[in-house]
Homo-oligomer: A and B are copies of this chain.
Amino acid sequence: MQTKEVHYSDYLRLDQILNAQVMESELQGAPAHDEMLFIIIHQAYELWFKQILFEIDSIAEIMGREIINDNSPELQTVVHRLGRIDTILKVAVHQIDILETMTPMDFLDFRDFLRPASGFQSWQFKITEAKLGLRFPERFGQEYYISQLRPEHITLIKSVEGKPSLLDLVNEWLERMPFFEQPEYWTGYEPLFPASGNKHPFWSDYSAIYASSLVEGETANRQPFENLFFGEESPTERRLSAKACRAALFIMLYRGYPLLQAPFRLLNNLLEIDEQLSTWRFRHVNMVTRMIGMRTGTGGSSGRGYLQGALDKHYIFREVAALSSYLIERRRLPRLSKELEERLGF
């Protein structure tokens, strides 16, 4: 098929890759053995961030289409690639084990040579967060952010923040879920409770069943439930609209139907990604604490302070995760009409 022969070393640009390790401690005349590990592990992380961004872009391209054809592999490709990101993040978490073979004293041997560089300056990681859906106002330590990054990287990240994120695309995709707006799927539906307000009969029923499922200590959940799923105006800081929340909950409740399998796995994979990202931050905080304790980071940060702040604030898909508060037992689920059941099957 091709004319020239491919060789492993050329194909992988090993000359470029394997000559990119320059130890500052050596340049400064005080070679510190462990700096090589420090460089290589960060380079390995950046390679994986590149891969993650590559996958997110391909996912966003599909999710941004006006119609995702159910008869095509598109949605399954999205699910598969989200799963791949999850797998990569699991290895990224595990990789911290390697950095932990460097003791605090070993790090001190070259730490001062690196100032003011800092892992905070990884623009690929910031872009990853932004592409998934983290917005500037939600970031912890915004001023620090501005002070640390190069102008061109800030511009880059801002431009990403200006475009629809994966979370935005998921919200729109959920809003497009058609069933509740097409009366033909509800002709055979038998309401269990009288309609309340202008809710769809299904949601009137669900609302009543949910309320009755709350045990002592949970009754305060009722009002948030009504607000989230039926509020007229979503608070501006919300990322999922009431309509999207209803669609997501419906998917979780009726995931047994073939048509809802891929959507369910898609939502689940988003939560997996958030979980791995947060585990990565968590282990990172622990590691930095062990490494430098209460000293300042090489970038001048309060060290673990930033990481801890980000850990608490940067859950990107928390609104999806929060929906599990509003599930009910399978045996109490309203029974769908035959028309809708058929639509949800093959």
How many copies altogether? Answer: 4
CB distance B46 to A47 under 8 Å? no
Majority secondary structure of chain A interface residues (helix, strand, loop or mixed): helix
B294 & A286 in contact (Cβ 8 Å cutoff)? no
* A337 CB-CB contact with B under 8 Å: no
A52 nearest CB neighbor, chain B only:
B40
A119's partner among B8, B28, B290, B322 (CB-CB below 8 A) is B8
Contact A271 B290 (CB under 8 A): yes
A71 CB contacts on chain B under 8 angstroms: 257-258, 341-342, 344-346
Interface string of A193-226 (1 = CB under 8 A from B): 0000000000000000000000111100100100
Flag A88-108 by CB within 8 Å of B: 1 or 0 each. 101100110110010111001
A104 touches B324 (CB 8 A): yes
Decide if A101 touches B83 in the complex (CB within 8 Å): yes
| A283 contacts the other chain (CB 8 A) | yes
Contact of A76 among B22, B261, B302 (CB under 8 A): B261
Chain B residues lying within 8 Å of A122, measured Cβ to Cβ, are 8
Q: Give chain B residues whose Cβ lies under 8 Å from the Cβ of A18.
A: 46-47, 50, 124
Interface residue ranges of A110-134 to B (CB < 8 Å): 112-124
Chain A residues within 8 Å of B, Cβ to Cβ: 1-2, 5-9, 11-14, 16-22, 24, 28, 30, 33, 36-37, 39-40, 42-44, 46-48, 50-51, 54, 58, 70-73, 76, 80, 83-84, 87-88, 90-91, 94-95, 97-98, 101, 103-105, 108-109, 112-124, 150, 153, 215-218, 221, 224, 252-253, 255-259, 261-262, 268, 271, 275, 278-279, 282-283, 286, 289-296, 300, 302, 321-331, 341-346
